[in-house]
Structure 1
Amino acid sequence: MYNSGMCPPYFQTNQYNNAHHQDQSYQPYVYPPIMQLPEVTTGPWSTGLCDCPEDCRSCWLTMFCPCVTFGRVSEALDYGTVPCVVSGSLYLMLMVASLLGCFCVCTYYSCFYRTKLRQQYMLEEQPCNDFLVHFVCEFCALCQEYRELQNRGYLMSL
């Protein structure tokens, strides 16, 4: 308990607080209105899904070694944190598992990177959602992603 003659400092009134509250010109701070952010729009892909003849090298690479194409795409989208060899090997194992009866496992894995690419560059989800694109046209989708990254300045062969 406190002595009757002593008040703690925060209970004492001082002249500054009294003068501050009695001042009629004092106005509380009013925050400015929140600005509306511009609506995020998506843009088109630099090439179409079936534009494989535009880059025959990536088309042939994808046809004969899709794991290499996928590895390069995933390494670019992961900023080099996961090497091409690791992603490509995992893709190859999932392709073998898909052939042995675990359908769509490889498609789930590859469509994740298509979604990542679309979100990173704000690309349209076309002609349908990413899973269906990879499910129906796996190699065309890989080629399109590869070309998109090349057109955006990535050196995919490194």
Structure 2
Amino acid sequence: MQNPSAPIYGKKPTTGIPVPGQLQANHPGTWSTGLFDCCYDVPNCFITWFCPCITFGRIAEIVDQGTPSCCASGALYFLIQAFTGCGFIYSSFYRTKIRKQYNLSESASGDCLLHLCCGSCALCQEYRELKHRGFDMSIGWKGNMEKNQNKGIAMAPEVQGGMTR
């Protein structure tokens, strides 16, 4: 059965223009998609499966508001995973940050265990959550802030008063 709160791949939400930080989930405290709804975003599913450091880097850049960059976060995740096999610990901290930032529910198993057992699914869910909250994950934090500055309400220029002495 299809998750009613999950978008069909390729279709945009019809709830209006989302703004970063605006709650997009149907119910406060719930994730906008399920943990195993990876195929709702097929390109990200493939990227996460074959190179999770890219997805993680994009998530970390948005969550940390641009500091550090996507590349730095992704490289650190890759190094931790390659040399210790414990990248799941690092990525679970970001899941916790997302949950606290958007007041989302925690799984019964906890963030660390979730990333240990279902790391790719957890990264995909976090990526989709940020995407549903209005972030364009491909342009990073700075790109999203610039894009949203241009969405302001257009106002007529202020009229200057006449000459005075």
Shared fold, TM over 0.5: yes
Give the structure 1 partner of residue 39 of structure 2.
53
Unaligned runs of 5+ in 2: 1-27, 140-165
Task: State the number of aligned residues.
Answer: 113
Structure with larger Rg: 1
Give the structure 2 partner of residue 86 of structure 1.
72
Taking structure 1 as the reference length, what is the TM-score of the superposition? 0.69
Unaligned runs of 5+ in 1: 1-41
- CA separation in 2, counterparts of 1:129 and 1:64? 24
Taking structure 2 as the reference length, what is the TM-score of the superposition? 0.66
* Equivalent of 1:139 in 120, 126, 142: 120
Give the structure 2 partner of residue 154 of structure 1.
135
Return structure 1 stretches of 4+ with deviation > 2 angstroms. none
How is 1:7-156 mapped onto 2 (pairs within 5 angstroms)? 43-98=29-84, 103=85, 105-156=86-137
Q: CA deviation at 1:95?
A: 1.1
Give the structure 2 partner of residue 4 of structure 1.
none
Q: CA deviation at 1:127?
A: 4.3
The percentage of counterpart residues that share the same residue type is: 52
Give the structure 1 partner of residue 7 of structure 2.
none
Aligned partners of 1:49 and 1:140 also within 8 Å: yes
Alignment RMSD (CA, Å) = 1.4
1:58 is aligned with what amino acid? N
